[in-house]
Structure formats: C-alpha cells, structure tokens
C-alpha cells in the first residue's frame, strides 16, 4: 500500500521540493509538489492524496493557515517542516491537527521513517474531519465520552481520570498507530518541550496504563517503542 501512496510536498523553496520529491520517488512513492497553499488545493481537488509534507514558513499564506483549511474538510495526514526556532508554530501546528513534524535541516532517512509511520495510520486517504471530532467512541472495550471527559468499562462503571491523564488519552486517540515521542506528547498535552532528563510523560503513561490496561506491565493498548516513544495500538471505533 505504502509504495503506491501519493505524497504532496508543499514548500516555497524549489530545491527542497525537488530533493524531497526525488528521494521519495526513489523509495517508491508517487510525489507531487506545490509551492503554495493555492497550488496544493488544486492538487487536492483533482487527486487522491495520502500525505502532505507542509512547510510552516511560506510567504503569504503560511503552513499553519493551509493546515487549518485542509483540516476543515479532510483528515489527510500532515507532516510539518519547521525551523529549529519555531517552537510556538510547531506546537500550534500539532494543535491544529498535524500528525508529525520534522525540524530543518533534516535527514532524509528520518523523513522516510516518519512518512512510513504516519501512513501506517491512514487506512483511508481522506477521512472526513468530523470523524476525528466525534464525542463518543470506543477503544479496547472502553467507552470514551470526549465531551464529558469520562471513560467506562463494558459494565458501565466509570473510571476517574485526572485532567492530565484524559488529555494524554485524547492525544493518543486522535493519532492511533502513530509513534509519538516524549517531546511531541509534551507539546500536545502541556504546550511545552522536553529536556533530555524530562520523564514526566513516562510517569503519566504509567498512571494511565494502570487504569485502562488489563496488565499494565505488559500493555496492549498503549505500546512502548524503545527510543521512539509511545503509540495507541488498538483501533478507535466512532459511535
């Protein structure tokens, strides 16, 4: 499936567009390029797109505005390209619904790894954004009420979660199958970045597992990826 995936690279720098296009084509992907949001929209109107690689800093209509417009109608995965100093924009981009980000300058092998990881989530190339905003859903036998921030088991008994725990669960639910690093999880749950010694996310994951996993020491819902972070490894069913 991934060898046939259609990726659109959106960047106002032609050298970056061409280098990424050439590399991904060598890996078996179909690649289109766009220098602006308006060109991207024309591509989306006429083609099925599986992934967008989107630069944040573009003249005129920036990547954040483009992401917001795409998210209004489609749930096609988006990977942001961001400069090192753009912490605020990077966090805002994730809050708008981007699936991942890569800091410039980047290694092409890392780009490929992130493309493959994001595509693993995308069974359908363009899912209506409303599905992501569903207020009630199920994961691994748990019923989750996003509006009331509650979860309950098959017996209907509610399980209390702290605000931090529910926020973390929500991040996983919105990105099933995606490996999220500690830094990304902190970005999405608290709006701050991690330092090398920060293990607060590990503690939050551990507490959440104790409440939703049948065996927290051998978790089946939230998996650990050594050196990579965590991912929700079960399907999300919308009601």
Q: What is the pLDDT of residue 31?
A: 95
Q: What is the pLDDT of residue 226?
A: 80
Q: What is the pLDDT of residue 14?
A: 93
CATH of 134-238, one of 1.10.10.60, 1.10.10.10, 1.20.200.10, 1.10.3470.10: 1.10.10.10
Q: What is the pLDDT of residue 197?
A: 46
Closest by CA to 201, choosing from 228, 183, 219, is: 183
Q: Which H/E stretch holds residue 53?
A: strand 51-55
26-123-72 Cα angle (round to 5): 100
pLDDT in tens, 26-81: 999 999 999 999 999 999 988 889 999 999 889 889 888 999 888 888 878 899 98
Below-70 pLDDT ranges, the chain:
1-3, 84-90, 121-134, 191-199, 228
| Rounded distance between C-alpha atoms, residue 232 and residue 16, angstroms | 32
Q: What is the CATH number of domain 2-121?
A: 3.40.50.2300
Q: What single DSSP character describes residue 180? A: B
pLDDT in tens, 200-209: 788 889 999 9
Write down the domain spans for the chain. 2-121, 134-238
């Amino acid at each position: 499936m991934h060898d046939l995936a259609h990726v659109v690279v959106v960047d106002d720098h032609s050298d970056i567009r061409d280098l990424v296009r050439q590399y991904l084509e060598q890996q078996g992907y179909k690649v289109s390029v766009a220098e602006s949001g308006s060109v991207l929209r024309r591509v989306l109107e006429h083609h099925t797109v599986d992934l967008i690689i989107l630069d944040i800093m573009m003249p005129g209509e920036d990547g954040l505005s483009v992401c917001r417009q795409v998210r209004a109608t489609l749930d096609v995965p988006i990977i942001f390209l961001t400069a090192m100093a753009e912490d605020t924009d990077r966090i805002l981009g994730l809050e708008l619904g981007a699936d991942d980000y890569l800091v410039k300058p980047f290694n092409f092998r890392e780009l490929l790894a992130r493309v493959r990881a994001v595509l693993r989530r995308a069974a359908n190339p363009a899912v209506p954004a409303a599905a992501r905003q569903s207020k009630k859903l199920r994961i691994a036998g748990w019923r989750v009420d996003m509006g009331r921030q509650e979860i309950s088991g098959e017996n209907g008994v509610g399980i209390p979660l702290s605000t931090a725990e529910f926020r973390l669960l929500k991040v996983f639910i919105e990105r099933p199958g995606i490996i999220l690093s500690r830094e990304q999880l902190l970005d999405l749950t608290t709006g701050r970045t991690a330092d090398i010694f920060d293990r607060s996310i590990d503690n939050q994951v551990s507490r959440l597992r104790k409440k939703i996993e049948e065996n927290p020491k051998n978790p089946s819902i939230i998996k650990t990826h050594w050196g990579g972070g965590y991912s929700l490894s079960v399907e999300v069913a919308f009601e």
